[in-house]
A = this chain, B = another copy of it.
Amino acid sequence: MLKPPEHQVAGHQARDGRLGPLVDGSGLFYKPLQSDDRGANELNFYTSFSSEPRIATRIRSFFPGFHGTQLLSASDGSGLHPHLVLDDLFAGLRLPSVIDLKIGSRTWFPSAPEDYFRKCLAKDRKSTSALLGFRISGLQVNDEDCRWRPSHDEVRRFNAKDVCRILRRFVSSDPASDREPNCAFASAVYGGAEGVLAQLLELKAWFEEQTLFHFYSASVLVAYDKDGSEDGRCPNRARVRLVDFAHVLDGNGVIDHNFLGGLCSLIKFISNILNDPTLSLI
């Protein structure tokens, strides 16, 4: 019954005998707990977030629903392994275009051990994180008859100009083409009262206030479905979700200025596209 998710664009993947997440095809996503601190941290986050009374329902809907943990046969054949049981964020989407945006100009946290700090810092400087306040961790863009899904190596080499272009290509038809992105779905996906921009602005308002959690190395995941789309219209509201909480820290009364800054930068990119879909600003 369980199988690797078809639309996962970043993170460890349950293919070729490795440990990775599984889906049951009826709405649940099973993420193996990482065996080091990261697994414990992520479980700890989901547990305290679930029981935190100060989170509004609207904000809660940006996070995957959490349904405890479950021992399952690991995808790498290593036997029983504890998994987080989460909502499958792509349930109900037939032809999802997905982008994973790791938010924050730095992915290391102040108390990080030296070797982890150095690894993160090097990646932040090499990728667009330091420059743009976020980086793309993975994506796929689907259209009726084609899919564009850059390899992990391609994604790692994206520079600021690439990111700018990809955020337009993400909402274009004919995504596999190298032509100038047409942004045919920009207003349907990014715009409108329920579009990506509106959802990101809601998140931003929360991050301006909330001092409960600091989200290091977490991602904003955007997904929308072109299934049944016509004339640049999409049948369903685009989904904006926060994912990857292995490095969430207690906010200790301080806002998450690192996440907030990166989120504002992403918001500016998206509004630029809505203001002028043909314009490449950087």
Interface class of chain A by DSSP? helix
Please state the number of chain copies in the assembly: 2
- State the Cβ distance, A164 to closest chain B Cβ, in Å: 8
Determine if A209 and B268 form an interchain contact, defined as CB atoms under 8 angstroms apart: yes
Determine the distance from Cα of A265 to Cα of B209 in the docked complex, in whole angstroms.
9
Given contacts A130-B110, A131-B110, A268-B209, contact A257 B253 (CB under 8 A): no
Q: Nearest Cβ in chain B — how far from A30, in angstroms?
A: 34
A2 within 8 A of B: no
- State which size class the interface on A falls in: 20 to 34
Quick check: B105 and A257 within 8 Å, CB to CB? yes
List chain A positions with a Cβ less than 8 A from chain B.
Answer: 105-106, 110, 121, 125, 130-133, 160, 164, 208-209, 211, 252-255, 257-258, 260-262, 264-265, 267-268, 272, 281-282
| 29 pairs from A and B in contact (CB 8 Å cutoff) | A105-B105, A105-B257, A105-B258, A105-B261, A106-B130, A110-B125, A110-B130, A131-B254, A132-B254, A132-B257, A133-B254, A133-B255, A133-B257, A133-B258, A208-B264, A208-B267, A208-B268, A211-B281, A253-B281, A254-B265, A254-B268, A254-B282, A255-B268, A257-B262, A260-B261, A260-B264, A261-B261, A261-B262, A261-B264
